[in-house]
Every structure is written in C-alpha cells, then in structure tokens.
C-alpha cells in the first residue's frame, strides 16, 4: 500500500495541544483511580468459592494463630531460669508498647487454680459412661487406692503438698487429673512443659511467648510498628545477653509478618518490573526504527491505556490485588504491539498520514486484538478472584491502549515527514528468521514431538506457596514449626453461635458425634471445650452415667478400700467425706458450668472478626486410619472444617479442572472467532499450529525445569492461546493482504510481530527475577509461552502458508466453470472480499444477464476499462469470459483497490482514483464497464466521465452500463436501506430518470445499442453503448 499526503497537511505534523490535554486527562484519571483503590496484599483471599477451600479459609481467618504474634525465645545453653528471665523482659516490653491486648500465659496461669477447683467440684458431669469404665474403674482397685493414697501422704509431707488439702479431700483418686489432661491436646507441642506460667521446650533451650495484637495482623501499617518494636527489643536483649556471655535469639512469626513481607516484596517486584521492562522495551524500540526517537513514542499509548485502565478498574472494584499491580510492566509490554506496528508504518521514507497508518495496522491486527482481549476477559470465568481481576485489568489496558493509538495518536501526529534512508540490522535479521523454510519447520516439529513426552501438567497446591516471605521470616517459621509443631499438620473444625452457651451445646453434639472417630483411631487426640465445660445435654447424660456407675455396692466397696488404705498410710478415716458426697445419688451441680472469660481465647473461643457472633476453633490430631473425604462429608454440617491434606487435594483438582476449563473456553472462543473471521477452516488450522507448538513446548520445558503449575500459571492458556495466536494471525493476515513475503509492508508486519513478542517477553522475563513466588512463576510461564509462540510463528507459518497458497493457485489454474475460476482468484484473500465475491456471484443477477447483453458482442476483446471496480468481481468475470483480455480499473477505496488488484493479478491494473479520472491503458480499449456507480456522480462528473471514456475507446468500442433508477413502488425496502447507508457515510447520491441518462449518453457521443430493465421492480437498467466507427 502506498501512502499519500496532501500538501495542506505537510505544514502540521505535530499537535502539542492534544498531547498536553491527553497527558493531563490521563494523569487526572489515574490519580482518581489511585485514590479510590485499596491495595490488597492478602493473596489467600483470592482463592475460589469452593466449599472445602472456603471452609479452610474461614477456619484459617478465625483461628487464634491468625491474630497472634508467636515468638520463640532461645539461648545457647540449658538454663531455664535465665531463659525465663529474658522472656519476662520481652513480655514487659510488649505490654508497655500498648500494641497488644494480651501477652504470655499469665492470664491462663492465673485461671488454672480456679479451673482445677471447678473441675474437682463438678467431676460427676465430666465423665462419659465409656470414660468411667475405661479410666475410672482401674483407679478403684484395692492396690490402686493404696498406691494413690501413699503418694498423697508423701506429697503432704513436703512442699509439693502445700495448698493441696482441699483438692485431696475432694478427689483422693485424682480424677481431676484425668480431666485436666485433656488440655494437653491444646499445647503446640507434646514435648513441652509449663514452668512459672511459661511454655518451655523439652530441651530447656526454647520458650514460647504468645501475644495478641490490638489490631488485625494483616494491617501492614500496624505490622510495621510491631517490626520496629521487636527490632528494638531484640537489640536491647542481645546487648544484655552478651554482657552475661549468653547468645539470645528471637524468632517472631505471625500473620503480621507474612502480610508485611508480601507487600514489601511485591511492591519491590512491581517497581523493578516496571523499571526494567520499560528500559528493555525502550532499548528494543531504539533498534527498530529509522528514527530511534520515534520508537520511544510507542510507550506513550501503552502507559496511557494502562493508567486509564486503573481508573476504569476503580469504578468496578474497591481494591486491587498486589499481584495484579505486579503485572503493570507486563501489561505495558502486552499493549505495545499495535503501537509499534502503527509507528513502523508511520516512520517511512515518504510522507505518511497517521490515519492511513492506523487503517493499515487495524486491518491486519484487529483480529489479534480481539482474540487477546477475549482470552483475558475469559479469566472472569476462572473462579479465582485474583485471575478475574487480572483479566479485567489487562483487557481494559489493552483495549484502551488500542483506542489511544488509533484514535488519539493520529490526532497528535497527523502526519510524518519522510525519514532519511537508514539500514536497520534488526529488520534484516527478522526477515531472515522467516526464511528458514522447510528445515525450520522440521526443527519445530522435532522439538514439539520431543517435548510432547514431558508435556504433562503438574500442579503445586501448597498453601504456603501463595505467599512469599523474606528469608528471615521463612527461617523463623521453620524454627517454630520444628520446635513447637506445625499448625498445618492437624485438622481444625470451627463452629459459630450467638453465645458461648450455644457453642457449649454445639460442642456437646459434636463431641458425641466424634467419639467413633476417636475410638477407631482415626483421631488420636483433640480437645473440645465440652470436655471441661459440657453443655446442658452432656451434663445430664454424664450425671446419669455417673450415678449408674456409682451404685451402692461400688460406693460401699470404695469406702472400705479408702478407709483401710487411710489407716495404713496415716490418713484419718473421715478425711475424704467431701468426696463421698459427690458419690451420693442426690448430688447436683451447683449451677451452669460457664466458660470463664479469661479462658475463652485459650480454648479457641472468640468473637468473629465482624463481632456478629462467637466462634470456636477445635484442633484434632489425625491417625493412620483417618479418611479426609469421609470426615469432611460426615461432619461438614457441624461447622467449617480445615483439613490441610483435603485442602491440597481439592485445590489440586480445582487447579486442574480450571486449567482444562480455561483451555476449553479460550480455545473454543479463539477457534470460533478466527474461523468466523477467516471463514476458512484450513487457514484457521494453520493459525493454530504455533499455539499448539507453544503449549506443548511450554509444558514440557516447565516439567524439565521441575517447575509445577500454580494459580498464576493458569494464565498459560491465556498467554499461549490468547496472546500466542496473535503472532500467527499477523503472519496469516499479512499473507492474505500482501501475498508476496518480499512486499515492504509484509516486512514491516514481520518487524511488528517480532517487536511485539520481544517487548512482551521483556515484560514477563523481568518477572522471572521477582522475589514473590507467584509473580516469578507467572513470569517464567509467560516468557516460555510467548517465546515458543514467536518461534512457532516464524518457523511454522511461512513454509505452511506458502505451500497452501501455491496449492490453491495450482488448483485454480486447472480449470472449472467461469464462476469457480473467479472464486479461485479470491481464495487466498481476506474473508470479506472472498465472501463478497461468492455472494456477489450467487445473488447478483448481473452475471446471468451479462451473457445475453454481450451476445452478439465484440469478437475480440483485449483491453477492458472498469470504472468503479469495487472488489473486482465483474472485472474477473470479464477476464474469464475473454481469456486474452486485460482489465484496467479505477476505484476510490484503497481497500477495494487492493482486493481487486490481487484478484486481477498480472492481467491488468487497478488504481486508486475517482471518476471522472481514467485508468491509463497501453492501447485504446475494446470495452468499458460502468456498473452500479453512475448515481455517485453529479452531472458535471458524469459528463466528464462519459466524454473521457469515449476518448479512451477504439472506434466501435463497447460500453456496458448498469445503473439505478429511483424506485416508484410503494415500499422499496432495499433501496431505503442502501440510501440510509449512503447517508450514514455522507456519500451523496444523484438519481436520474431514464430520459436524463439517455440524454447524457448521447451528448457524450455514444450510440445506444441496447437497453433493458430486468426484474419485477424495474429499478435497474442496462445500457450497451458503442462508439461510432
């Protein structure tokens, strides 16, 4: 395509006012969007709405560990006293900071005596029938009683018995120990003990300090205060310890640190990605353009589109994930392809118009944009909120960048003066990449076949992989997990209620339901508050079991055994009367067993985050026979369950099913869209070949690298299909539009494809060096997918397309009916002219009427003039009718001229122009046609056209005219529609009567040989004219 420029435009090639207005408007919109949007750093919130996963998140958010700061305090020697001393200093500093509601186990320690007293006084309602039989019965054997009383007597004789008199006389058998032992399941580690209200590890080197902040652990502003406080305390304690020749280490963990690390790492990655992506893209642009500074302009529409997308996104959402922001640099690189192509067509050795460059790029690249935008929009159906946000933000950025480059940029740069001749090595290198031919195709096929053996998707479903923390945080988490146990190695169940009493009642029901699991060994340990504070129904059932167990015979035997043993060890016979009273059938509890407020947090009971209800999280340790699926289905109705094993399994299945779903949705959408656009199955399959190649090679490479797929790599289907097919489409459309690979515009399109892929690869490649695992994973996957798609486009498309085009050309030349030969001329073209030709031949009665009009006709036709050639269908019909002829046509529309020129091929020339201009012919023409175009000419234009046409014909030359008469029927629907179309395009129409047309023809010197008005409505009229001999 040759671009032209009127002299009136040369005086203005740059409009600074529109540029300034655009910059101000975009900046304002971005500022508004930035002010409206909150940055969400909690990646786990972005998991999909699947019952098992949402249950797990519900439990995780309400577990006390989510709101707690846990600090492992350790020293390099076994000195519990010194360890407790340092921990005391730490706890004092935490309390003094005002940042925590509770610190340490002080409140729990203070409540333990009251708890023990409550348990001792309410023993009859704390044992089930089974527990009485299995745990209490052995304690009332004669030997067991004698042994127990002997231990008690010795304890009373030394310091261990101080303050224990009341407990001994109320519970000589030590039944309260059985009940209090149930609390052991709450300890983070079974290899730990409590000393001076602090939890000490069994090796006496570690002490655990637990504190509850006054604010949410995911509030990063608050988290910074905690970090600053702990840094200062660690420094002070470290200096103090060094003076005592100790080495103390503080290892703090908690949600506060994870949230802060995620934000800091992601922010750093975002800044680094945008900086290096922009710099890398800028370097590539400098190498690609005759005037390097022109290339840098490519960044402007991309940045403007991305900034404006930020504003539009703020109208749709209240917050934006930090992960989506991490794709800022990648979005800029993905939206730059149309800008590069536009500027490549603008930066030419001749004057060019911005609107013409825009039209050329839009003609080739619109389908590629639609497939990419459609692919990212399809992320809305992924079920993952973070992917939905990413898809919406990206397609907004791409769509708005497209609007900027095609509607705003041509206003800023209406025209571009010629560039100086300059050799661009990168252009030569890109052209050579597309010339590998069959050897390159063979290499691509061999690589794909080899990678096919490794192209198995493997998914990473580790919950911790969704967050990325610093090395210090990771080391602290590992230390705490090693010493105190990992919270994710257990099963959690959460229930909700309007009151603590309701939670107790629900606990009763759950505990009763759960007893088979405990008995079978599926659960080896666990704690439910109803074990210490049963609700009304469990108290009643336990009391009935107690009374049945302590029948009169058993009570009498027990008293005899105790009295006998008491005499032997030195207790008074009446020492245990208080205990005997709870064995009497008349015993009743003093009142409801309410859970003390100071114990609620320790027992996993607290207000929900929105303060609307009470929640209780219970922890269980699983055994070898535990069945995750059975447990979830059996107890899901009781509350929310978090089973890490089941969570990982379901997340893995969900990732795989989502991967397949996205692959199916995007693949089917792209195939349908491309098929509709091409209207050619073979071309559609050719365009998909590099996509299949990229998909196979990317999966294979990831497997070879040992990199499993995760949530971010669900983008593979979007990147490999939605974006990867862009490069194929640019190539296929260029073959359709330009035909010859050596065409200058084809070279520019190849350069645009390479630059588009290279800039996108730069944007994603930078993410490969991100610290955040999801950003890094997405960067690696997308880099591989785009890289392989580019390789596939350059190695696969050229040889396949050239073979396809040649086969079709050979098939056309082998013959067939004239209509088939005409259609064969359009077979390798774009869909519109191809379909236009097919329906024109099928529906227009012209081609059935022409043979009669031309019979008898000229004996020998070698030169034909076609005024208003359109897409060249009638011209091609004449070429097939007269095999020795050539057609010289003219049409005002460059797109129609391009189609007609390719259809005519070497048998003529179609130029861009408007009647009364005439195409140049080497000799006087034998025939001329004016088909359906006379009503576009005013009277003067028609006069000049007919006169000039008369002058170009040989004596006796024939002119065939078909024109439109103004209809006289009552409802000329087709005529109304055509008139509306002309008015919409602001094209004037000049309808004339039959007499007016005849007069114009005769005045031009023609002889009317024949006139006919076929059709029922008589609105089309044929004229066959001749010049005088």
Annotate 263-278 with DSSP letters as a single string: HHHHHHHHHHHHHHHH
795 touches 447 (CB < 8 A)? no
Q: Phi/psi at 133 (nearest 5 deg)?
A: -75, -40
Task: Write down the residue that tokens 């003990």 correspond to.
Answer: 193
Return all residues near 52 (Cβ < 8 A) that are at least 6 apart: 632, 641, 643, 646, 647, 650
Q: Phi/psi at 534 (nearest 5 deg)?
A: -65, 150
Torsion of CA 523, 529, 532, 533, to 10 degrees: -140
Give the angle subtended at the CA of 852 by the CAs of 848 and 855, to the nearest 5°: 140
Distance CA(369)–CA(346), nearest Å, equals 20
pLDDT digits (tens, 9 = 90+) for 422-475: 678 888 888 888 888 899 999 999 999 999 999 887 766 555 555 566 677 777
348 touches 417 (CB < 8 A)? no
pLDDT score recorded for residue 3: 42
Picking from 1029, 1028, 974, 986, the residue whose alpha carbon sits closest to that of residue 1005 is 1028
pLDDT score recorded for residue 953: 93
pLDDT score recorded for residue 449: 94
614 touches 503 (CB < 8 A)? yes
Distance CA(485)–CA(186), nearest Å, equals 12
pLDDT score recorded for residue 466: 55
Distance CA(560)–CA(554), nearest Å, equals 10
Residues of the chain with CATH 3.30.70: 69-105+197-253
Q: Return the half-sphere exposure (C-beta side, CA atoms, 13 A cut-off) of residue 55.
A: 25
Task: Write down the residue that tokens 């890398």 correspond to.
Answer: 280
pLDDT score recorded for residue 4: 44
Encode burial over 75-98: b for 16+ CB neighbours within 10 A, e otherwise: beeeebeebbebbbebbebbeebe
Count CB atoms within 10 A of the CB of residue 577.
12
Picking from 874, 1010, 866, the residue whose alpha carbon sits closest to that of residue 929 is 866
Count CB atoms within 10 A of the CB of residue 415.
22
**Dihedral angle sign, alpha carbons of residues 265, 268, 274, 279:** negative
Residues of the chain with CATH 1.20.1640.10: 271-462+650-801
Distance CA(782)–CA(327), nearest Å, equals 11
Return all residues near 295 (Cβ < 8 A) that are at least 6 apart: 282, 284, 285, 286, 287, 288, 289, 340, 343
Distance CA(128)–CA(123), nearest Å, equals 11
901 touches 870 (CB < 8 A)? no
State the alpha helices, DSSP H only, in 51-102: 51-62, 80-97
Is the CATH number 1.10.10.10 carried by domain 271-462+650-801?
no
Q: Return the half-sphere exposure (C-beta side, CA atoms, 13 A cut-off) of residue 957.
A: 20
Torsion of CA 142, 143, 144, 148, to 10 degrees: 100
Q: Which two tokens stand for residue 440?
A: 């390159």
pLDDT score recorded for residue 380: 80
737 touches 364 (CB < 8 A)? yes
Distance CA(649)–CA(459), nearest Å, equals 10
Return all residues near 61 (Cβ < 8 A) that are at least 6 apart: 609
Distance CA(148)–CA(141), nearest Å, equals 11
Is residue 495 helix, strand or coil? strand
State the DSSP code for 709: B
Picking from 95, 104, 176, 172, the residue whose alpha carbon sits closest to that of residue 135 is 176
pLDDT score recorded for residue 487: 54
Give the angle subtended at the CA of 485 by the CAs of 480 and 489, to the nearest 5°: 125
Q: Which two tokens stand for residue 868?
A: 């208003």
Q: Which residues of the chain have pLDDT under 50?
A: 1-11, 159, 161-162
Encode burial over 496-519: b for 16+ CB neighbours within 10 A, e otherwise: bbeebbbbbbbbbebbeebeebbe
Tell me, which fold does domain 69-105+197-253 have in CATH? Alpha-Beta Plaits (3.30.70)
pLDDT score recorded for residue 864: 95
135 touches 178 (CB < 8 A)? yes
Terminal-residue alpha carbon distance, the chain: 40
Task: Write down the residue that tokens 């030709």 correspond to.
Answer: 837
Picking from 714, 718, 712, 748, the residue whose alpha carbon sits closest to that of residue 731 is 748
Count, residues in the chain: 1029
Q: Return the half-sphere exposure (C-beta side, CA atoms, 13 A cut-off) of residue 349.
A: 8
405 touches 360 (CB < 8 A)? no
Count CB atoms within 10 A of the CB of residue 62.
22
Distance CA(688)–CA(675), nearest Å, equals 11
Residues of the chain with CATH 3.40.50.150: 815-1027
Q: Which two tokens stand for residue 533?
A: 């504070």
Note the CATH number of domain 815-1027.
3.40.50.150
pLDDT score recorded for residue 43: 59
Encode burial over 606-635: b for 16+ CB neighbours within 10 A, e otherwise: beeeeeeebbbbbbbbbeeebebeebbeeb
State the DSSP code for 586: T
Distance CA(184)–CA(197), nearest Å, equals 15
Distance CA(775)–CA(713), nearest Å, equals 10
**Dihedral angle sign, alpha carbons of residues 370, 372, 373, 375:** positive
Partners of 607 in the β-ladder: 614
């Amino acid at each position: 395509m040759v671009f032209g420029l009127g002299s009136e435009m040369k005086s203005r090639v740059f409009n600074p006012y529109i540029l300034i207005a655009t910059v101000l408007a975009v900046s304002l919109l971005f500022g508004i969007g930035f002010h409206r949007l909150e940055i969400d750093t909690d990646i786990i919130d972005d998991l999909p709405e699947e019952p098992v996963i949402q249950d797990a998140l519900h439990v995780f958010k309400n577990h006390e560990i989510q709101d707690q700061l846990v600090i492992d305090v350790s020293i390099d020697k076994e000195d519990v006293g010194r360890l407790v001393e340092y921990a005391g200093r730490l706890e004092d500093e935490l309390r003094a900071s005002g940042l925590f509601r509770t610190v340490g186990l002080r409140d729990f320690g203070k409540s333990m005596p009251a708890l023990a007293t409550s348990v001792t006084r309410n023993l009859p309602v704390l044992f089930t029938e089974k527990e009485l039989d299995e745990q209490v019965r052995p304690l009332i054997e004669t030997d067991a009683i004698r042994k127990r009383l002997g231990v008690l007597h010795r304890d009373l004789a030394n310091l261990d018995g101080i303050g224990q008199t009341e407990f001994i006389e109320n519970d000589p058998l030590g039944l309260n120990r059985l009940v209090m032992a149930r609390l052991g399941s709450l300890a983070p580690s079974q290899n730990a003990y409590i000393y001076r209200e602090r939890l000490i590890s069994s090796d006496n080197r570690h002490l655990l300090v637990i504190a509850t902040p006054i604010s949410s652990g995911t509030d990063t502003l608050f988290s910074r205060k905690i970090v600053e406080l702990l840094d200062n305390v660690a420094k002070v304690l470290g200096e103090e310890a060094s003076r005592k020749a100790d080495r103390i280490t503080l290892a703090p963990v908690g949600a506060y640190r994870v949230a802060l690390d995620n934000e800091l790492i992601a922010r750093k990655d975002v800044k680094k990605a945008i900086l290096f992506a922009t710099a890398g893209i800028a370097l590539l642009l400098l190498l690609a353009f005759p005037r390097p500074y022109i290339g840098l302009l490519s960044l402007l529409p991309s940045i403007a589109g991305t900034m404006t997308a930020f504003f539009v996104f703020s109208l749709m959402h209240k917050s934006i994930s930090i992960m989506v922001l991490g794709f800022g640099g990648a979005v800029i690189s993905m939206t730059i392809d149309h800008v590069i192509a536009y500027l490549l067509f603008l930066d030419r050795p001749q004057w060019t118009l911005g609107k013409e460059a825009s039209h050329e790029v839009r003609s080739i690249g619109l389908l590629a944009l639609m497939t990419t935008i459609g692919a990212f929009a399809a992320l809305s159906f992924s079920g993952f909120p973070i992917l939905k946000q990413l898809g919406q933000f990206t397609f907004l950025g791409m769509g708005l960048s497209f609007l900027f480059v095609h509607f705003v940029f041509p206003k800023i740069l209406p025209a571009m003066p010629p560039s100086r001749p300059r050799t661009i090595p990168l252009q030569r290198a890109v052209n050579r990449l597309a010339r590998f031919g069959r050897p390159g195709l063979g290499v691509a096929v061999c690589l794909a076949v080899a990678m096919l053996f490794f192209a198995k998707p493997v998914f990473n479903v580790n919950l911790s992989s969704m967050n990325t923390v610093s090395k210090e945080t990771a080391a602290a988490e590992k230390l705490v997990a090693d010493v105190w146990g990992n919270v994710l190695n257990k099963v959690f169940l959460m229930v909700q209620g309007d009151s603590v009493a309701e939670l107790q009642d629900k606990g009763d029901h759950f505990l009763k339901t759960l007893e088979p699991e405990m008995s079978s060994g599926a659960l080896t340990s666990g704690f439910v508050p109803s074990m210490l504070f049963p609700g009304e129904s469990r108290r009643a059932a336990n009391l009935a079991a107690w009374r049945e167990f302590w029948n009169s015979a058993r009570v009498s035997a027990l008293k005899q055994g105790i009295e006998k043993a008491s005499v032997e060890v030195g207790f008074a016979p009446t020492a245990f009367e208080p205990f005997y009273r709870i064995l009497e059938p008349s015993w009743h509890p003093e009142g409801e067993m309410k859970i003390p407020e100071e114990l609620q947090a320790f027992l996993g009971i607290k207000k929900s985050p929105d303060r609307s209800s009470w929640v209780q999280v219970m922890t269980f340790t699983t055994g070898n026979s535990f069945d995750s699926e059975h447990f979830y289905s059996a107890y899901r109705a009781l509350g929310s369950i978090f089973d890490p094993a089941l969570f990982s399994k379901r997340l893995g299945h969900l990732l795989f099913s989502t991967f397949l779903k996205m692959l199916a949705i995007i693949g089917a959408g792209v195939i349908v869209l491309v098929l509709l656009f091409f209207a050619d199955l073979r071309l559609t399959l050719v365009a998909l070949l590099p996509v299949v190649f990229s998909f196979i090679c990317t999966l294979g490479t990831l497997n070879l690298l040992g990199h499993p797929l995760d949530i971010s790599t669900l983008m593979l289907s979007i990147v490999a299909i939605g974006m990867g097919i862009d490069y194929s489409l640019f190539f296929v459309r260029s073959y359709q539009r330009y035909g010859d690979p050596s065409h200058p515009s084809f070279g520019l399109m190849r350069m645009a494809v390479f630059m588009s892929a290279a800039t996108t690869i730069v944007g994603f490649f930078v993410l490969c060096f991100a610290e955040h695992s999801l950003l890094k994973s997405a960067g690696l996957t997308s880099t591989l997918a785009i890289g392989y798609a580019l390789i596939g486009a350059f190695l696969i498309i050229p040889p396949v397309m050239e073979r396809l085009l040649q086969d079709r050309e050979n098939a056309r030349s082998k013959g067939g009916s004239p209509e088939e030969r005409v259609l064969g001329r359009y077979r390798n073209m774009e869909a519109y002219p191809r379909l236009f030709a097919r329906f024109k031949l099928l529906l227009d009665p012209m081609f059935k009427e022409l043979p009669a009009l031309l019979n008898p006709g000229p004996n020998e036709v070698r030169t034909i003039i076609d005024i208003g050639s359109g897409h060249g269908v009638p011209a091609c019909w004449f070429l097939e009718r007269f095999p020795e002829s050539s057609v010289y046509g003219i049409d005002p529309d460059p797109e129609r001229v391009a189609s007609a020129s390719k259809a005519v091929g070497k048998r003529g020339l179609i130029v861009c122009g408007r009647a009364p201009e005439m195409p140049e012919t080497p000799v006087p023409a034998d025939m001329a046609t004016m088909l359906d175009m006379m009503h576009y000419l005013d009277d003067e234009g028609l006069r000049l056209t007919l006169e000039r046409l008369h002058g170009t014909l040989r004596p006796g030359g024939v002119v065939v005219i078909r024109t439109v008469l103004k209809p006289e029927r009552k409802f000329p629907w087709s005529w109304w529609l055509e008139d509306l179309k002309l008015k919409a395009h602001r094209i004037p129409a000049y309808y004339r009567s039959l007499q007016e047309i005849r007069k114009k023809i005769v005045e031009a010197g023609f002889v009317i040989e024949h006139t006919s008005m076929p059709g029922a409505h008589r609105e089309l009229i044929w004229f066959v004219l001749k010049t005088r001999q």
